[in-house]
Structure 1
Amino acid sequence: MEIIQKRIQSIDILRGIAMVLMALDHVRDYFHITAWTDDPLNLETTTPALFFTRFITHFCAPTFVFLSGTSIYLQSLRKTKSELSVFLFKRGLWLIFVEFAIVNFAWTFNPNYPLQIFQVIWTIGISMFILGFLIKLPYNFILGIGLLIVLGHNLLDFPEAVSGFKAGFWWDLLHHGHAVFYPINANHSAFIFYPFLPWTGLMMLGYCLGKLFTPEFSLAQRTKLLKQLGIVLLVLFIILRGINIYGDPLPWQYQQNNFYTFLSFLNVQKYPPSLLYMAITIGMALFALSFLEKIENRFTNTMVVFGRTAFFYYILHLFLIHFFALINYFINGHSIAAIYDFSTKYNIPFLGVVTTDGFGLKMVYIIWIVVILILFPICKWYDGYKTAHKEKWWLSYL
């Protein structure tokens, strides 16, 4: 049991790092001066600092989804297949509900719910639901399907790139959609950010990685395999990106200088996550995971807290960041009445956010640090509460 706990702690450290970086990206969304008027990865207008502020947060969603799969495998060591399947069905449906009822409100602060945004919690939920069906199948079958999806889904880029291609709602939801609006009625729309197919494949592979965290593998064997897998994925990224034909729908291009050409080389697609996006992010994650079991210090102990309370943290950090944005809105002299006025291009559907009220990157980092400092004691309390009340079944859903 001690060995298993130690292994889980390394996973929680990595998950915690991903959660902390995720907050940086969301603070940038609400507070950076160009967050709603330009892409931080636009090589014609970005700066290296802004580019890497966005790029390092690419690590978050795939790590979150991948390690969710790993955690499911670890649960399979304590539950029967039937018990785990039922749990995944219920947990998946619960996460989908949370996305549309709670997370969407946290993003918009609009009780009318004008946007139903399909984001990371939705994709984790639907992927868990699908895995609930697959969980009774042989391990190698799940591994094979996961590899087929992750390695092969970019083949769909070719028909999607044909002139005149029209995806439609279900196809966008499956693979193609990126910031795509679908009107539901006059006042409500669906907004697809996370098509689920590649994310589901990634969760399957995360599930299969969980086998390394069983007594079947020693610490030395696991560390070696994690490092090797990480290197393989990073080498795969370099080779396929260099060939510039397959693995990402947007080829890299020569820029005004070598450094910006390097940035173009790194600039891979997140929505939907391309093979190369998953290769570089999960490659780095596995390489980091190979070292984390051997490290214990104040930093890792802090990250464990965020990792063990990831879902609780995720909900809280969205409300807290948006609350700070609302304070900034009123400090800048805007009225309550104007908050619902979208007739001006300066107001966006996330209430209390005006595009002209943003800050530079330095202030973004300051606000991010404040957010993390506020959330840590709350998450630490919740972690202690969960540990002391393991008999409460509902805590497994939070």
Structure 2
Amino acid sequence: MGMTKFPTRQTYIDCGDISLKSLKFALRDRSKVSLSKLDGNSIFQVFEDGQCLSTGLNAILGARSSGKTETLTQINNSCENVKYIPQFSLVQRDDANYEKEFNADVTRKKSIFSDKHLAPFKTVLDDVLSIDTEINKRRVADYLDTLMKSAEEAQKFDSFSRASLFNETLFDLGEHTSLTELVSSVRQLIENIEFRDVIDKYIDTNALKALACELIVILWSKAYERKKKSLVNDIIREVKSKLQLKTSATQIKDVDLYRVMFEHKKLLKFNEIAKLLQEEKIIYQESFQGFKVVCKQRAFQGAGEIKNVSGQKVAFSDAFRDYAHPAKYLSSLKTNEAFTPSEFYKYFACIEYEILNKDGFKVSGGERSEFRLLQEIKDAQNFDYLLIDEHRVFI
């Protein structure tokens, strides 16, 4: 025997707060109750039987097993781009992992901010990642040893060791980073639209274009010179190598002392920046519907915390011994092939989040459920429909 279907009916109630108390008082005032739409939202049909909904807020009230969940399920299946919060999906459960899941969910949603906060440090780290202090020390030591030995053997030089290219130094190729950045800056001044009036007030656009063209020509010229020097360096290396095979004289090892000192200064500055990043402080906070999301940075307290951040089943205990010395710590990380260099920037400072209630304390179980519901509702702005099944936090 089929189930009897009754015609649908809608009643519109004008009240600001959806609670049993508000509905009770609204129903007592006939001016707040109507059988048809008077203003505000439009009406659209959702079911073939003629069931209509308002584009505003709709509340389905009924006793247990009266079909509320089934109605929401049908709406979810028949409509597109729906945000559906099922019954009991966000409420506190008797589950030991609930708090862990809650913290993981908050951390995941805020991970974009964490990456943004650490992005400048990642740039610094990437700049010093290729520096190897041990290799630099060895190169300087080899240079000094061969220089002294070559001086002692000066009177024993033969025709091969007296050749000009035998101890010739290589050209410094250098980088044109500053010039490239300068061209980019001038180009930005030319193409900027937002502050066009201010720029034109002080600088002529044609002059900027002429400057950009001349800088580009200089950049091309330097790139050409660098290519020629690189080719000459290849020839010098080959000739030196062949001369070395023809003589027993000591050849002075090549070393760029300026580069060695420059890289040493870079590591000193890297130590300063990393230690500043490890100082405990609040880097972000946001108030949200009576809750406060607080983001802090601090130093890692142990190797286990770094392991949790990495998500890898690799021990950090050996590397963590040098954690107080960032440059040594970075070197220890590089020696372990199990670690991914692109993730190193996450291993220097702990970024943690706390959800606090209006009194400034960590949220309780019920407050966690309420916060998660409010977050879900906030995310619903990207959807056309929001369906909430029996969340009594409103009542």
The TM-score bracket by the shorter chain reads under 0.3
Bigger relative CO (Cα 8 Å, ≥ 6 apart): 1
Q: Which has the higher helix share?
A: 1
